[in-house]
């Protein structure tokens, strides 16, 4: 597989690299890490990173703003990193490539592309890129750069939650160690990763103060329009508040009701009780321990709370 990928890379003089929309550090780290390696090891090739800029992660990397009409010339290779299905690919021109290569660690639900390298054992796509780098180093004397090392390390840190999630394997550590040999400023990286605006820090304080913890072990927080406006936080940004009281002893499941114009957005999380059935009952769905739903009015909000309390009660 790796030999095949290396052959394809060496065949084309133009390579366009994509990843999923609303990129996280692994999407950007694998995309830009691979691009940086290709640019350095094949200085005569034209290598492009494509997709929308993610404002909160521009400290990691920036996209190449190119006129995509350059693709109308010679045939080019398209590589898509960290993206399980084509609907999530950020951009359009990936369809125009002569060949398509998928590199991903999510379950291969949509096996798109001419060459598919999926490794669900890998913590991250960035980990896979380091794995591939070691192969190319042996075969073609590829060299690592500090910038590529920084990007790939950041991708692993993102997807493993700083090496604490259960997807962190001995192999993850070995491959992370490969890039940690380079002089990456990890202090700077971690600071940028986990900092937030003052208004968000203040709102976190309010949530910690005001969330309700019921005797069943259900955490409840209401984010009213008024509250979000007071702190100038958008509904999307408020998702960063989801886990701030998850460490509360005795907490089993928790729910955020975010007030919208004509309904409530409901975000559900759990440490045990299976909560996605509640989400399905209320115009939503998702994973057993993390899902989302909608509530039309106060009455439905109360119904959801009652159902969650019952689940928590059964689980104890
Ligand atoms: Mn990933």
pLDDT at 69: 65
Counting residues of the chain whose pLDDT is more than 90, the rounded percentage is: 82
Distance linking the first and last C-alpha atoms of the chain = 48
pLDDT at 49: 94
> Sorting pLDDT into bands at 50, 70 and 90, what band is 73?
confident
Does the pLDDT value for residue 72 go beyond 70?
Answer: no
pLDDT at 288: 84
Cβ–Cβ under 8 Å, residues 293 and 283: yes
> Sorting pLDDT into bands at 50, 70 and 90, what band is 64?
confident
* CA of 3 relative to ligand 1 center, distance in Å: 23
- The pTM (predicted TM-score) of the whole model is 0.82
> Sorting pLDDT into bands at 50, 70 and 90, what band is 125?
very high
* CA of 20 relative to ligand 1 center, distance in Å: 9
Does the pLDDT value for residue 48 go beyond 80?
Answer: yes
Q: pLDDT of 191-209, one tens digit each?
A: 998 888 999 999 999 999 9
Q: Residue 287: in which H helix or E strand, if any?
A: strand 285-287
Q: pLDDT of 25-41, one tens digit each?
A: 999 999 999 999 999 99
Could you tell me which residues are beta bridge partners of residue 268?
Answer: 255, 291
Least confident of 55-64, 126-135, 150-159: 55-64
pLDDT at 263: 96
> Sorting pLDDT into bands at 50, 70 and 90, what band is 70?
low
Question: Mean pLDDT across the stretch 227-232?
Answer: 96
Helix residue ranges, H only, 2-145: 2-11, 25-41, 125-140
Rg value, the chain, Cα = 22
* CA of 2 relative to ligand 1 center, distance in Å: 19
Give the C-alpha separation, 188 to 192, whole Å: 6
Least confident of 13-17, 139-143, 179-183, 193-197: 193-197
* CA of 15 relative to ligand 1 center, distance in Å: 21
202-315 fold:
Diaminopimelate Epimerase; Chain A, domain 1 (3.10.310)
* CA of 188 relative to ligand 1 center, distance in Å: 22
* CA of 124 relative to ligand 1 center, distance in Å: 5
* CA of 93 relative to ligand 1 center, distance in Å: 22
Please enumerate in sequence order all residues whose Cβ is within 8 A of that of 15, keeping only pairs 6 or more positions apart, or say none.
9, 38, 45, 46, 47, 48, 76, 77, 78, 79
pLDDT at 50: 93
CATH 3.90.1640.10, applies to 2-193: yes
Both tokens of 134, joined, read 């070691």
Question: Mean pLDDT across the stretch 123-128?
Answer: 97
* CA of 215 relative to ligand 1 center, distance in Å: 37
Cβ–Cβ under 8 Å, residues 18 and 80: yes
**DSSP SS3 for 80:** strand
Please enumerate in sequence order all residues whose Cβ is within 8 A of that of 61, keeping only pairs 6 or more positions apart, or say none.
28, 29, 31, 32, 49, 151
Question: Mean pLDDT across the stretch 100-116?
Answer: 94
Domain extent listing, the chain: 2-193, 202-315
Does the pLDDT value for residue 259 go beyond 80?
Answer: yes
**Residue 57 Cα distances to 22, 28, 248, angstroms:** 10, 9, 30
Neighbours of 228 (CB within 10 A): 17
* CA of 118 relative to ligand 1 center, distance in Å: 11
Could you tell me which residues are beta bridge partners of residue 269?
Answer: 254, 290
């Amino acid at each position: 597989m790796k030999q095949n990928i290396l052959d394809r890379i060496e065949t084309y003089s133009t390579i366009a690299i994509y990843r999923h929309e609303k990129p996280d550090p692994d999407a950007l780290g694998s995309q830009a890490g691979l691009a940086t390696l290709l640019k350095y090891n094949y200085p005569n090739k034209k290598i492009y990173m494509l997709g929308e800029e993610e404002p909160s992660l521009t400290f990691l990397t920036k996209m190449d703003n190119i006129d995509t009409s350059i693709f109308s010339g010679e045939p080019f290779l398209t590589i898509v990193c960290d993206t399980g299905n084509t609907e999530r690919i950020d951009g359009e021109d990936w369809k125009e490539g002569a060949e398509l290569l998928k590199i991903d660690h999510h379950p291969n639900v949509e096996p798109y592309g001419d060459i598919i390298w999926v490794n669900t054992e890998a913590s991250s796509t960035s980990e896979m890129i380091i794995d591939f780098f070691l192969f190319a180093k042996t075969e073609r004397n590829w060299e690592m750069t500090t910038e590529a090392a920084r990007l790939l390390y950041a991708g692993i840190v993102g997807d493993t939650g700083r090496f604490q999630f259960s997807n962190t394997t001995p192999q993850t550590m070995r491959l992370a160690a490969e890039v940690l040999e380079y002089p990456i400023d990890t202090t700077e990286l971690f600071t940028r990763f986990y900092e937030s605006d003052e208004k968000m820090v203040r709102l976190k304080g309010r949530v910690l103060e005001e969330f309700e913890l019921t005797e069943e072990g259900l955490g409840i927080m209401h984010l009213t329009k008024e509250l979000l406006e007071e702190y100038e936080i958008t509904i999307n940004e408020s998702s960063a508040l989801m886990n701030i009281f998850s460490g509360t002893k005795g907490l089993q499941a928790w729910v955020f009701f975010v007030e919208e114009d004509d309904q409530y957005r409901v975000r559900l999380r759990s440490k045990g009780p299976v909560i996605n059935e509640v989400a399905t009952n209320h115009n939503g769905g998702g994973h057993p321990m993390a899902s989302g739903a909608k509530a039309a009015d106060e009455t439905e909000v109360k119904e959801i709370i009652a159902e969650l309390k019952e689940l928590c009660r059964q689980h104890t």
